[in-house]
Structures are given as C-alpha cells and as structure tokens.
Structure 1
Amino acid sequence: MKISKKTDYALRALFTLVDAYGKGPVSIRELAERNAVPKRFLEHIMLDLKAKGWVTSIPGARGGYQLAKPPEKITMGEIVRYFDGIIAPIECVSVSGYQACSQEAVCRFRRVFLDARNYVTLLMDRSTLADVARGAPVTGREVFSQGFIGGEGI
C-alpha cells in the first residue's frame, strides 16, 4: 500500500489541527509552513476536507481551519479511502475496486494480499486521529530494524 501525496498532505494538516483542537483556528499559511505543503495544493485539500465535514473554516484575519468533529470521530481509514479510493494492495482483493484476474481460481499468493488488506483495513479503521496523535513519531531505528534489513523495496 502506498498513499498519494494528497493523502499525505491531508493527514499532515489534520494532525496539526488535532494538536490545535479546542485552541482556535489555524491559518492556511501556518498549516502549509508547518507541514511543508505547497499552499495552493493545500487550499484544494482543505476544501475537500471541509466538504466531507471533517474541518470548518473561520473567515477573517484571525481565521483559518479547525476540526469540525472531535478527533476521536475521524479514522485514518476514512481519510485514506476518501483521497485514494481503496486500501487493498491489489484489485483482485478489493471490495470497491475489484477487478477479476484470470488466475484467481489457482492463485496462491492472492491470500497473502487478502490477509494484508484485512490487517491494514482493520488497523486503519480502528485508528482514530486522537489515538494516532497520542503515539510517538516513528524513529529511524524502527524503520531500519535488523529484522527487515535485506527486504529491498520495503
């Protein structure tokens, strides 16, 4: 699974708003700067987030964006599906993006992708923005753990 830049930028902005939840709006300029996102691209993303009811905008000099729902009511799965469509790693194990494959009746590796879809979907749908915000950032040590070294393309 690989998320798009749009999803990445949406999540960055949302987590900035989670940190500011209950403290007032955050300007589009500040959202863009704090998250290293091009402002014009972020403006479109914020309109999408607003259309879904996840954020609201406050006009004026002290205005900006804030969460429209508590962070406990928004999941990572919702965000990823909205911007990227499907979470499944291949189309033959997707519910909404299903595409038949000529090898389905005999394919054995498809099961691994189905298990991966089920695990990732469960994790994403259980992970609210509030839950994720309470966690610690991932360290380089975790990313390059010896258990995964040698698995090029990870």
Structure 2
Amino acid sequence: MRLSRRSDYALRALFALASRYGEGPISIREIATKNDVPKKFLEQIMLELKSQGWVRSIPGRIGGFELAVAPDRLSMGQVVRFFDGILAPIGCVSSSDYEPCSQEPFCRFRRVLLDIRNFTTQLMDKATLASVLRGEPVRREEVFTAGDGI
C-alpha cells in the first residue's frame, strides 16, 4: 500500500489539529508551514475534511480550523479510505474495489497479499489520531534495521 499525497497531507493536517485538540483553531497557514504542505492544496483537502464532519472552520482574524470530532473517534483507516478508496495492495484482494484476475484460481502469492490487506486494515482501523499521538516518531535507523517489518 502506498498513500496518495492527498491522504498524506490530510493525515498531517489532522495530526496537527489533534495535537492541539481543545485549544482553539489553527490557521491554515500554520498547518501548511509546519507540515510542509502547499497551502492551496491544503485548502482543498481541508474542505474535504470539513465535508466529512471531521474538522470545522472558525471564521475571523484568529480563526482557522479545529477538529470537529474527538481524536479517539477518527482512525487513519477512515481517512485513507476516504481519500484513496482502498487499503488493498491490488484489486483482486479488495473487498470494496474488487478487480477480477484471470489467475485467481491458481495464484499462490494472492494469499500473502490478502494477509497484507487484512493486517493493514486492522492496524489502520485501530490507529486513532489519539493513539498515534501517544506514540513516538519513527527514528531513521528503525527504517533501515532488519526486523519483522521487512
């Protein structure tokens, strides 16, 4: 699975808002700057997040955006499905955007891809904004250390 840029930027914005939940609105300029997101693109994304009822806009000079839901009520899975549609690595193991394949009756590696879909879905749906914020950022050396994730 690879996140689209829309999902990536939406998650960045949502985590920025979740980190200051209950403290008032954050300007779109601040969200864009702190999260290295083009402001014009972020404006479109924020409108989509607002349409889902996940954020609300506060007008005025000290306005901006804030979460409209508690951080423990919104999961990464919900956000990625909204922007990208599916979490499956390929269409023949997607339940929501299934694409038939001529090799289905014989394909052995499809089982692994189905397991990946199921595991990814489980993790993404458990990963609420609140639970992820309680975790630590990934250190660079973790990315290049052999382990269960390789």
2:46 alignment counterpart? 46
Within 2, Cα distance between the matches of 1:19 and 1:104?
A: 44
Paired position in structure 1 for 2:86: 86
User: In the alignment, does 2:93 pair up with 1:96?
Assistant: no
Taking only aligned residues, the RMSD between alpha carbons, in angstroms, comes to 1.0
2:14 is paired with a residue whose SS is helix
The answer for unaligned runs of 5 or more in structure 1 is none
Identity of aligned residues (%): 60
State the shift of 1:141 in Å.
1.2
Aligned to 1:128: 128
The runs of 4+ residues in structure 1 deviating greater than 6 Å are none
- Report the 3-state secondary structure (helix = DSSP H, G, I; strand = E; otherwise coil) of the residue aligned with 2:133: helix
Secondary structure of the residue aligned to 1:45 is helix
Is residue 61 from structure 1 mapped to residue 42 from structure 2 by the alignment?
no
Give ranges in structure 2 of 5+ residues lacking alignment: none
Q: Which residue of 2 aligns with 1:12?
A: 12
Q: How many residues align?
A: 149
Residue type matched to 1:8 in 2? D
Task: Find the counterpart in structure 2 of residue 105 from structure 1.
Answer: 105
Letter in 1 for 2:129: L
Residues 96-134 of structure 1, C-alpha deviation per residue, up to 9 Å, x if partnerless?
Answer: 110100000011000000000000000101111000011
TM-score (norm 2): 0.97
In 1, the alpha carbon distance for the partners of 2:54 and 2:118 equals 25
Partners in 1 of 2:146 and 2:55 — Cα distance? 40
Q: TM-score scaled by structure 1?
A: 0.95
2:117 alignment partner in structure 1:
117
Q: Residue 50 of structure 2 aligns to which amino acid in structure 1?
A: K
Instruction: Give per-residue Cα distances to partners, 1:66-123, cap 9 Å, x unaligned.
Output: 0000000000100000000000001000011101000000110000000000000001
